[in-house]
Structure 1
Amino acid sequence: MPSRPGTRLAVIAGVLVLAVGGGVGAGLGAPALVGRFGAASPEVPPPPPPVVAEPALRPVGADAPAPTPAGVAALLDPLVAQGRLGALSGKVIDPATGTVLWQHDPGATLVPGSTAKLLTASAALLALDHQARLSTTVVAGAEPGTVVLVGGGDPTLSALPAGEESVYPGAAHLDALVAQVRAATPGPVNRVVVDPGRYTGDGLAPGWLPADVAGGYIAPIVPVMLDGGRADPTDPTSARSSTPARDAAAELARRLGADPAATAVGTAPPGAPVLGTVQSAPVEDLVTTVLRTSDNVLAEVLAREVALAVSAQPSFAGATEAVLRVLAGNGFDVGAATLADGSGLSVRDEVSAALLADLLATAAGPDDGAPRTAALRPLLVGLPVAGGTGTLFDRYVAGEAADGRGWVRAKTGTLTRVNSLAGTVLTADGRLLAFALLSNGASPSVARPLLDEMAAALRSCGCR
């Protein structure tokens, strides 16, 4: 998540290879001059076709040398010994072998910030169909001229016109839903009711600050909203609505020609005819968005969908219990981890570096047919690239961490005196390592560059 003011065989690794071609210059005057002096124009061959950049994922070689624990400790221990990280929990694993290469109080549970999203994303990938989509539906109301907007969990539905993209890639558009309803409704629509009954409980989690809604970090969690409740669909930290379901209903009413002020919260009649439905991007793509942009609302929705998938209550308490239950049921030691939400925005979350590193090492493990590795592989795709994408786009661009640019991929976490980083790094020898680093008690201005430096140091391995 963005920081709050005052502060959020072979291992398959993603290596982005960009084919770059040179340009071709053309003399603009020579053939014309030749023509003026009566000579025949020479045959000028056509220019070659333009080079098209085709990014590709390539596997890491199986024979890359493995670092040793002593070698990794020689790199990281001096950085920890500076004493600038406060309480620290850290772990580095070689996913190809499962070898623990380095650890520092790995089982200690600390406030993780947004690296907690790795737990929610992992549970979603383990419990949900990767190609499933979240729907928003309009059905006929109980009275003539009334329609009901039924929330199916999709917070990405966009108010923008078709062809314009919000902060959510691949989002459905409200106008498409409006067009379907108009085509299916013989008479005018006079009133819109919204049904948010898919989720239960409070909209805000324990440990959240009310100011975070106006600050653009979160909206009350309901199963229907527009653009994650944002006032500006293109701004990740735009101010959010405190009534996102009612606002979505009002905007639907406005576009259908009904009175926005007459909207109400209610329940769809059983078996009501469907007038229109639109769907989100697939779950796998939603997970990528959660990790890359650290979207809190989308993370909370995925946690609730996990709860529904395992017959738990779709509330904060039910969703967080479900996330940990799914992870434990897939063989992960959740230890003393506690969650108050699915996004890491709450200061009541406590997670260990051991759990985060184990999730990432499993996702990056050998392609040996293990079901949980196959399910978690998309975690690697969603991790921001150091100095390139998502919440790491402006990090690793200078200083001691610059060597990690393009090689470190990691989820970030920042709250007040909370800093975390968990992801993967490809060593100079071509070995993929998984790591997790949690720091509590130090200022972000001090801890964040040092965590970046630690991850970048792993890039230099060696370490034998």
Structure 2
Amino acid sequence: MQLGRWIHTSAMLVAVSLLLGGCATSSTTSEQALDQLLADPALAGASVSLMVRDARSGNTLYQHNPRTRLVPASSMKLLTTAAAMDVLGPQYRFSTQLLSNGSQQGARLMGNLYLRGLGDPTIQWADYQALAASLAGQGIQLIQGDLVFDDTWFDAERLGVDWAHDDEDKYYGAQISALTVSPNSDFDAGTLIVTAKAPVAVGQPLSVTLSPPTDYVQLSNLAVSGPGNSYGLNRQHGSNLLRLSGTLKPGTQSRQWVSVWEPTQLVANLFTQALAEQGISVQGRRVIGGVSPATATVLATHQSAPLQELIRPLLKLSNNSMAEALLKAMGRQQANAGTAAAGVAAVADFLRRQGLDPATLNQVDGSGLSRRNLVSAQNFTDLLLAMGKQPWFNAWYDALPSAGNPDRLSGGSLRYRLRGTAAQNNLQAKTGSMGGVSSLTGYITDAGGRRLVFSMLTNNYVVQGSRIKAVEDRVATALCRSELAREGR
């Protein structure tokens, strides 16, 4: 048994070395080497879908279960962003508006003030402060009416279909609202950054600050300064009680992101604070979820950067909140319904316009966080081929993570992978990762200068995810250092 295993392993290494070594790159050897890579023990019992095609002709060069539908994880963002560039357009901007149905009399606004969100996942605390300052700049110091927070551009479904319960307090599982706030330039909308600092004295409680600063959440701080670094943070389900526990090394600090329950109410808390900073008082009630009248006058507006710029942090950093906002924005644009279902229908219409069949896949969210999403390598390579024909292709292509590039907004989720290989700064691809799920989909140029599109999806593995990523990396390196047959098989 040991001798047989040695012979099998040696044969695999020889095949791979022929491919990677650059001295023998026949198409047959290349295909056999890919077969051997997929025979890696890490993939034993797993489901794998892999397809490689010529980006110009569309010819299939290699395939392994190409039509097997698997959970794609964050590679689903390829579908969402591609459709958004078509449905919404590269110049699309999210807006947040201040409106009123009343009139100004001196320093008084006689009527309600509406803060209307149109889904912007990039708006930050400073932007809300600027809106309040704009109001003060118009001479308004008193609102003799209600302060209404209008998040009705999107529906009230805060989470995606079948999102995991234990993801709810994580930044990547944040709730979706048309009126939200991001704590940073990564645009992790619907979250707060919790910074905990450990005093030098052992046994003393950690000091805690929130960004943006708010009293919307409550703290249960049982964490102390001490050895072990067992510090942890979580949010209790259905509430905004943040629980801090464990120990943090004396003199150090920890920054963690935590989602909030009901982002619209976080915005209400922050904007009320922003008005107070400007000396503006409100006589009426604070109303959550009210609808802005069609006849209301716009007093101030904040706009996001254009979509062709927003897709860069979205794809590079695999931002779930931005992807979900785009999905619902497409639903609102195409069907006047800010729902995930309407957004999925908009993506399906986009695919049909490209000559692709949406019935061959299943999409339920924009980010890929749900395990109900099912896509094949054939679907993804079809999409990549179709994207090459779009007038906005270059902006979309450049937004994909670039392998081995250490710059965070260039390399993104691939910045630590494939350094020092032929794939570095060659592979442009989207990654995907969940428990038992890994994917890599994108563009790469082979040794002959030919651009390839490929997609590899792996599900149901039981080894560490890093081992699957290593196989993906070997496949990518093999592709860029070989020349598969022009017609493949």
Q: Which letter does structure 2 place at the counterpart of 1:98?
A: G
Per the alignment, residue 112 of structure 1 pairs with: 72
- Runs of 5+ consecutive residues of structure 2 not aligned to the other structure: 1-24, 103-108, 183-188, 194-210, 213-253, 406-410
Contact 2:80 2:327 in 1 (8 A): yes
Of 343-352 and 427-436, more deviation after overlay is shown by 427-436
> In 2 relative to 1, CA 323–71 (structure 1 residues): closer, same or farther, beyond 3 Å?
farther
CA RMSD of aligned residues (A): 2.5
SS of equivalent residue, structure 1 residue 420: strand
Decide which structure has greater strand share.
2
CA distance in structure 2 between the aligned counterparts of 1:241 and 1:69, rounded to whole angstroms: 53
Q: Which letter does structure 1 place at the counterpart of 2:334?
A: V
> In 2 relative to 1, CA 72–185 (structure 1 residues): closer, same or farther, beyond 3 Å?
farther
Corresponding position: 1:299 with 2:323: yes
> In 2 relative to 1, CA 237–127 (structure 1 residues): closer, same or farther, beyond 3 Å?
farther
> In 2 relative to 1, CA 292–236 (structure 1 residues): closer, same or farther, beyond 3 Å?
farther
Aligned residues: 376
Corresponding position: 1:174 with 2:132: no
Contact 2:156 2:177 in 1 (8 A): no
The equivalent position to 2:97 in structure 1, one of 131, 134, 137, is 137
Per the alignment, residue 271 of structure 1 pairs with: 295
CA distance in structure 1 between the aligned counterparts of 2:317 and 2:361, rounded to whole angstroms: 24
CA distance in structure 1 between the aligned counterparts of 2:359 and 2:26, rounded to whole angstroms: 27
Q: Which letter does structure 2 place at the counterpart of 1:177?
A: L
Contact 1:201 1:316 in 2 (8 A): no
CA distance in structure 2 between the aligned counterparts of 1:187 and 1:411, rounded to whole angstroms: 49
Report the Cα offset of residue 115 of structure 1: 0.2
The equivalent position to 2:191 in structure 1, one of 217, 223, 230, is 230
Corresponding position: 1:454 with 2:485: no
TM-score (norm 2): 0.72
SS of equivalent residue, structure 1 residue 285: helix
Report the Cα offset of residue 237 of structure 1: 6.8
The 5 Å alignment of 1:64-463 reads 70=28, 72-85=30-43, 86-140=46-100, 144=110, 146-160=112-126, 173-189=127-143, 192-227=147-182, 228-232=189-193, 238-257=257-276, 258=281, 263-265=286-288, 266-311=290-335, 313-364=337-388, 372-388=389-405, 389-397=411-419, 402-442=421-461, 443=463, 444-463=465-484
Contact 2:316 2:413 in 1 (8 A): yes
Per the alignment, residue 239 of structure 2 pairs with: none
Cα offsets for 1:183-226 (capped at 9, x unmatched)? 23533247532001111241111211233231211222111111
Per the alignment, residue 6 of structure 2 pairs with: none
CA distance in structure 1 between the aligned counterparts of 2:311 and 2:85, rounded to whole angstroms: 8
Report the Cα offset of residue 410 of structure 1: 0.9
> In 2 relative to 1, CA 387–259 (structure 1 residues): closer, same or farther, beyond 3 Å?
farther
Contact 1:192 1:250 in 2 (8 A): no
CA distance in structure 1 between the aligned counterparts of 2:358 and 2:339, rounded to whole angstroms: 20
Identity rate of aligned residues, in percent?
30
- Runs of 5+ consecutive residues of structure 1 not aligned to the other structure: 1-66, 161-172, 365-371
Per the alignment, residue 52 of structure 1 pairs with: none
Cα offsets for 1:141-182 (capped at 9, x unmatched)? 56836411101111110114xxxxxxxxxxxx2232222222
Q: Which letter does structure 2 place at the counterpart of 1:407?
A: N
Contact 1:89 1:438 in 2 (8 A): yes
